[in-house]
Structure 1
Amino acid sequence: MMFKINKNITTVIVALTVLGWSPLLGQSIQRVEPLNWWVGMENPTLQLVVYGPQIGKSEVQVEDKGIELVKINRVENPNYLFLDVKVAASAQPGWSTFTFRQGKKKLTYRYELKQRDQKVKAQGVNSADLIYLIMPDRFANGNKANDQVKGMLDMSLNRDSMYLRHGGDLEGIIGKLDYLQDLGVTSLWLTPVLTNDMPQASYHGYANTETYHIDPRFGSNDTYVQLGEQLHRRQMKLIFDVVPNHIGSYHWTVKDKPMADWLNEWPSYTQTSYKDQTVFDPYASADDKKKMVKGWFVPTMPDMNEQNPYVQNYLTQSHIWWIETAAIDGFRIDTYPYNDLDFMAKWTDRILQEYPKFTFFGETWVHGVANQAYFLGGKRVGQDVDSKLMGVTDFQLNYAIGDALNQKTEWTAGANKLYSTLASDFLYPHPEQNVLFLDNHDKDRFFSVVGENVQKYKSAMAWLMTTRGIPQLYYGAEILMKNFSNPDGLLREDFQGGFIGDKSNKFTADGRTKAEQDMWNYVQTLANYRKQHTVLQTGKTMQYVPEDGVYVYFRYNEKQTVMVVMNCNDVAKELKLDRFRERNNQVKSYFDIIQKQETNPVDHSLKLDAYETKVFELKF
């Protein structure tokens, strides 16, 4: 029997052999997705996508008392069937046999229902966590054998190129988990790891061509499962980067679409306007809104029609499948404002039905606190739809920390920009669930943003680790990695020491320069203090209006008080501490968390160097 299937997806071929399906008279089933399901799910319904030549003309029966075939959905493309099934509460783990008939021709397919694993999973990511973001291709190479996989469209391997593959993989990341744990990291977010069999720039992963398979150049599904297990053994968490808005143009459902409206398509190529305002603008044109949400991100990333119920099921089930399979703890959602918010609300409800503690945060690369708040759940800013989204990537505070350290200290800039942005937290249902960051795989390295001024950079790190929300580090931030995003490949350099032939190993103290080691120690000290003290995780916040370019805020709970003092000036400043008696009254001493020593400010005043930030634990 001939298999018509992507040559690189060897795991599918193996899986089909194991399933033991029995083709007769020339018929074939090339795919069934999801690859398997489980007994005991909260929602017993499932929609199977069956794909093969003319399979849509078949009559279908299922021989298993544990599975009820509710409906056979035939669509425009006869190569597809969408089967609605219901898994009985009494169903047992094992194999169910589906029979497909066309006249006298018959084909059987065995589908597996598994027992749900009670291992740690779906814990959710919260303000007790520190997220570390990695681009797998650029972090560490643990298996040279998978650097190039025969049959894939992108066979590049050139570490001297910004846009070709470098060979980093999941085994490489697993080998560096001790390093991350020592640094103080609690959660790991990888840019997408699904198969991205695209001809160019396949390393970044945001144009997946398979829905249920890890890119073989990163490893296998089993390798990804192993990563989750290794993280959980260390009491760390795994974040999966999901991209519901679009897929790659070489995805199998794009090359042979199930139906005409599987994608958002136009008479001619139409790109999104990237204007998020049209989604909430009360005066917006309907055509402008449609272009924003249904236009394609780029020509190689077809836009999914999230209003199509078959697309909704396909996306939602795949994400549930990955949580159950790989024990994922949270999702980062790519390009969130470009999604259909009605669908995202249903998607969220469906996932939380199975995993009540699971959490999500969405990428909201927008301008304005109200713009950002609009995409969150809770309907705090007059939304028509409650998206149910829990947190966002807080671009507004990202802009603000840059302004605080780079702009003059005026009422609308400098330290005041940081203060006023945080003061708008009333627009968010749960501001503590927003993810804070200095940089990421799309944004200028912050060390470059502040002109490679180490004092400024330390101030930004101190702020990141002590203000409200969930902090996120981009790989290499702790060792002063730099560069601007023009082009973005410059932001995605290799972590030195992760690849054979590297001249130095930045994963070890011996391989770092004096400045890099100093910065690494600084980040480690703050990250581990934060990890060990709930006051910086769930404590309340009180901030003071900046005066003379000095910004002061407190994190406090019943047991502890932490004071953060940030000098946003290019000259030294002296700060009188009497103004803050609401929080520091009767303080006996100030414990400098960075220097790890107590101090008693003379005359109750504090001196700060240019751009210096001090972090104190107050002793009463």
Structure 2
Amino acid sequence: MRFLNTLLLVSACSLPSFSYALNVEPANWWVGMNKNNITVLVHEQNIANEEFKLDKYKGVELNNVTRTDNPNYSFLHLNISDNAKAGTLKFNSTNTAHSFEFPLFTRDKNSAQRQGFTSADALYLINPDRFVNGDSTNDTVKSMLEAANPGFKGGRHGGDIQGVINALPYLNNLGVTQLWLTPVLENNMPDYSYHGYAITDFYNVDPRMGSNNLYKTLSIKAKEQGIGLVMDMVLNHFGAEHPWMKDKPTQDWINLNGQFENGKNATSHARQTIQDPHASNYDKRQFSDGWFVASMPDLNQRQPLLNEYLIQNAIWWIEYADLSGIRVDTYSYSDKAFLSDWTKAIMDEYPHFNIVGEEWTSNPAIASYWQRGKVNQDGYVSSLPSVMDFSLQEAVIRALNEDEGWSTGWVKVYQSLANDFLYPDTNNIMVFADNHDMSRLYTEFGQDLAKTKMAMTLFLTTRGIAQIYYGTEILLDNTPSKDHGDIRIDFPGGFKNQNANAFTGVGLSKNQRDMHETISTLLNFRKQSPALAKGKLVHFSPNNGVYSYARVSDTQTVLVFMNKNKVTQKHNLDYMQEVIPKNANAQALFTQHTFKLTNSINLEPMTATVLVINTP
């Protein structure tokens, strides 16, 4: 049985009046879960004055009910034992109008053993509103505060989940193995709601994106194409139009008394305070408790009921939508003890799952602090499997834009990767050229095709999990603007009245077609390459404008040469003998030319050369 979300109607006067409807979160659970003690949030006017009883159900007990300082909430604590069967729980209230049913479902077979994304995968990051408009009937929804405005770079353009479903054959052919969509949950904000990071309902997809059922359909159809689904989750903050802002479950649900105070309570963004052994408690709180902006209030994950709510919400979406991973926005901004609880609960439920946290720092000492297995000086224990490699992203941009020198050029990449000793699991680091929050790669290189191809070859052949931003394969560009609305540009072919179509190739330039072929070749090679999936990385100090490395597995060696010189380079291979099998025959990935390796190779100017050596 479905329940409507709480309805909050704001009157024209300064003091809001409320109209309530019974709201239950989550709407269901599953039997056979490791997480078998759950808390059901019930919201309705003066609901705390009512008594709830659970009809007798074998294997399920209502342990107790928590009432808070807000009489409009009750939290029902259930224990679902291992011998409980699927069925429907019936909760009776002293107000019969508030009695409700709560389904217990059977889990999909082997759900707990699901495989998360790995270093064999390539994730394709999509801003759904800017990708494909698959259903124009939901561009504007009357119940949502913001209507479609495709002519405004910061407005909603109409892309949706159906559009992503329609694009699945294209993505499969491109070589994508995982999809990461920026948040598709309800963002009922008055403006700039398209990005998805100001969530106003943690359990429902935004109707302008589709529905929960359609999101599940995307997951099913993507898996039919061999593609997994990664959900972008926000734990640190939420949208200011969420009902919680007008009717907080507890007084301490939101940090800093639930007030932004004209920026006084803004976050310091000083992420280093979390690891700093000398940092004051004041500075730590300014970072973790401060708000991003007034429209994104900061959640207090130290509140036990909120802690439980966020853990259950993540597990519910994994189970409901059959997810293969989670990307966590602004990871380190949340309370770090909560983050330990949250990641552990998910990994206990799904031991082979994967979660990547966004820690936007070029300092690997800070980023590595969060990865599972790291022994930290302060004793902090994390269960987060993966982090994002902002250090390498920055190093590659600088390396290709700088002249070669003792401390410039390729050495920046070499030094970044040399810091891998800080990470407990270097294969489980996500590498990327750009994303939805930074200028596009082609823009950073001043529309230089050669540099863009070299960079993407590096990111798709080095160690770690590869991530590509939508449109990189066709050189999408935000020059000269750095506005997020321009970075998150409409995908050609996804909307009406566009001159180019990436899905058919019509209207694409020669350079765009060249880039698409390069990316497709690399991504499809990754799908079947044991060396790129799990092979050891061995790299060599840059020399004469060439950076070279090998990915080595038992059955395959991949050699990569990055030549920044503007002339052909006759490159001696004697220094690489430790990674080149004897009497090796190599195949050039991009030309398919096969030849016997000698002690030198000709490297074309401003080109990445990839050689594949298969060993029996």
Instruction: Give the TM bin, normalised by the shorter chain.
Output: over 0.9
CA distance in 2, matches of 1:6, 1:277: 40
Q: Which amino acid aligns with 1:591?
A: Q
Within the alignment, does 1:230 sit opposite 2:221 as a pair? yes
CA contact 1:29–1:55 (8 Å) conserved in 2: no
2:253 counterpart residue number: 262
For residues 195-214 of structure 1, the aligned pairs below 5 Å read 195-214=186-205
Q: Would you say the 8 A contact 1:411–1:417 is kept in 2?
A: no
Amino acid at match of 1:51: H
Corresponding residue for residue 22 of structure 2: 30
Residue matched to 1:250? 241
Q: Which amino acid aligns with 2:538?
A: M
Look up the match of 1:131: 123
After superposition, the C-alpha distances for 1:402-442 in whole angstroms (9 at most, x for unaligned) are 11211122233211111111111111011111111001101
Match of 1:483 in 2: 478
CA contact (8 A) 2:6 2:243 kept: no
Indicate if the aligned counterparts of 1:380 and 1:428 stay in contact, CA closer than 8 A: no
Q: Distance in 2 between matches of 1:547 and 1:359?
A: 37
Judging changes above 3 Å, is the alpha-carbon distance between structure 1 residues 294 and 571 closer, same or farther for their aligned structure 2 residues?
Answer: farther
In 1: Cα distance, 2:551 partner to 2:559 partner: 7
Matched position secondary structure for 2:248 = coil
Q: Does 1:83 align with 2:76?
A: yes
- AA partner of residue 535 (structure 1): A
Q: Cα 1:583–1:488, aligned 2, differ >3 Å: closer, same or farther?
A: same
Counterpart residue identity of residue 452, structure 1: Q
Q: 1:159 aligns with which of 150, 157, 162?
A: 150
Aligned position for 1:192: 183
Match of 1:283 among 274, 278, 286: 278
Matched to 1:491, the amino acid is: I
Alpha-carbon distance in structure 1 between the residues aligned to 2:201 and 2:491: 27
| Correspondence list, 1:326-345, <5 A | 326-345=321-340
Equivalent AA in structure 2 for residue 224 of structure 1:
Y
Q: CA deviation at 1:120?
A: 6.5
2:518 paired residue among 517, 522, 537: 522
Name 1:49's counterpart in structure 2. 41
2:13 matched residue in structure 1? none
Q: Which residue of 2 aligns with 1:170?
A: 161
2 CA distance for matches of 1:366 and 1:415?
20
| Superposed displacement of residue 252, structure 1 | 1.6
Contact 1:380 1:427 survives alignment (8 Å): no
What is the deviation of 1:89?
2.7
Contact 1:119 1:327 in 2 (8 A): no
SS at match of 1:473: strand
Residue range with higher mean Cα deviation, 137-146 or 65-74: 65-74
Extract unaligned runs of 5+ from structure 2.
10-18
| 1:554-610 deviation per Cα after TM superposition (whole angstroms, max 9, x unaligned) | 011111111101123455433211121112253343311111112456x73233343
Mapped contact 1:34–1:49 kept (Cα < 8 A): yes
Cα deviation digits, residues 52-87 of structure 1 (max 9, x gap): 010011122111223211111110000000111112
Counterpart position of 2:439: 444
Q: Say whether the 8 Å CA contact 1:542–1:553 is kept in structure 2.
A: yes
**Offset at residue 373 of structure 1 (A):** 1.0
What TM-score results when the alignment is normalised by the length of structure 2? 0.93
How far is 1:95 from its partner?
1.9
1:98 aligns with 2:94: no
Greater Cα shift, 175-184 or 398-407: 398-407
Looking at structure 2, the residues matched to 275 and 377 of structure 1 have their Cα atoms a distance apart, in angstroms, of 22
2:401–2:445 CA contact under 8 A, matched in 1: yes
Where 1:202 maps in the other structure, the secondary structure is coil
Q: 1:590 to 1:116 in 2, by over 3 A?
A: closer
- 1:294-330 superposed Cα distances (whole Å, 9 cap, x missing partner): 1011111111101111001111111111111110110
Separation of aligned partners in 2, 1:79 and 1:135: 36
Corresponding residue for 2:354?
Answer: 359
Instruction: Provide the C-alpha distance between the structure 1 equivalents of 2:461 and 2:213, rounded to a whole number of angstroms.
Output: 37
CA RMSD of aligned residues (A): 2.0
**CA deviation vs aligned residue, 1:486-516 (integer Å, no higher than 9, x gap):** 2121111100111122222111133422221
Query: In the alignment, residue 93 of structure 1 is paired with which amino acid?
Result: A
Q: Which amino acid is 2:142 matched to?
A: K
Distance 1:194 1:577, change over 3 A: same
**Correspondence for 2:307 among 308, 312, 317:** 312
**Taking structure 1 as reference, are residues 234 and 82 closer, same or farther at Cα in structure 2, changes over 3 Å only?**
same
Helix, strand or coil: the match of 2:205?
coil
1:379-424 C-alpha deviation (Å, 9 max, x unpaired) = 3442431121111111000011111211122233211111111111
Residues 331, 358 of structure 2: 8 Å contact kept = yes
Aligned residue in 1 for 2:590: 594
Q: CA deviation at 1:228?
A: 0.4
Residue number among 453, 458, 466 corresponding to 2:448 in the alignment: 453
Q: Match of 2:467?
A: 472
Q: Counterpart of 2:22 in structure 1: which amino acid?
A: Q
2:349 maps to a residue whose letter is E
Segment of structure 1 superposing worse, 579-588 or 348-357? 579-588
Query: In structure 2, do the counterparts of structure 1 residues 184 and 120 end up closer, same or farther at CA, with 3 Å as the change threshold?
Result: farther
CA contact (8 A) 1:504 1:511 kept: yes
| C-alpha separation in 1, matches of 2:368 and 2:286 | 21
Contact 1:130 1:470 in 2 (8 A): yes
Pair 1:116-2:107 in alignment: yes
Where structure 1 has 5 or more consecutive residues not aligned to the other structure, the ranges are 9-26
In the alignment, the residues of structure 2 paired with residue 47 and residue 135 of structure 1 have an alpha-carbon distance, to the nearest angstrom, of 32
SS at 1:555 equivalent: strand
Structure 1 range deviating more: 509-518 or 574-583: 509-518
User: Residue type of the partner of 2:282?
Assistant: D
Alignment pair present for 1:68 and 2:61 = yes
- C-alpha spacing 1:4/1:376, structure 2 compared with 1 (3 Å): closer
- 1:526-581: CA deviations, max 9, x gaps? 11111111111101111111112211100111111111011234554332111211
Name the aligned partner's letter for residue 515 of structure 2: M
Which of these residues, 498, 505, 512, is aligned with residue 509 of structure 1? 505
Q: 2:611 & 2:378 partners in 1: Cα distance? A: 40
Q: Structure 2 vs 1, CA of residues 28 and 196 (structure 1 numbering), >3 Å: closer, same or farther?
A: closer
Structure 1 residues 402 and 434: alpha-carbon distance in aligned structure 2, compared to 1, 3 A threshold: same
Q: 2:345 aligns with which of 342, 350, 353?
A: 350
Give the distance between the partners of 1:227 and 1:504, measured in 2 at CA.
26
Amino acid at match of 2:87: G
Deviation at 1:4, TM superposition (A): 8.4
Question: Does the aligned pair in 2 maintain the 1:409–1:569 contact within 8 Å?
Answer: no
- Matches of 2:315 and 2:575, distance apart in 1: 52
Query: Deviations 1:427-476 (Å, cap 9, x if unpaired)?
Result: 10111111110011011100111111111111111111110001111000
CA distance in 2: counterparts of 1:39 and 1:113, whole angstroms: 6
- Decide which moves more: 348-357 or 571-580: 571-580
The letter for the 1-side match of 2:72 is N
- State the number of aligned residues: 597
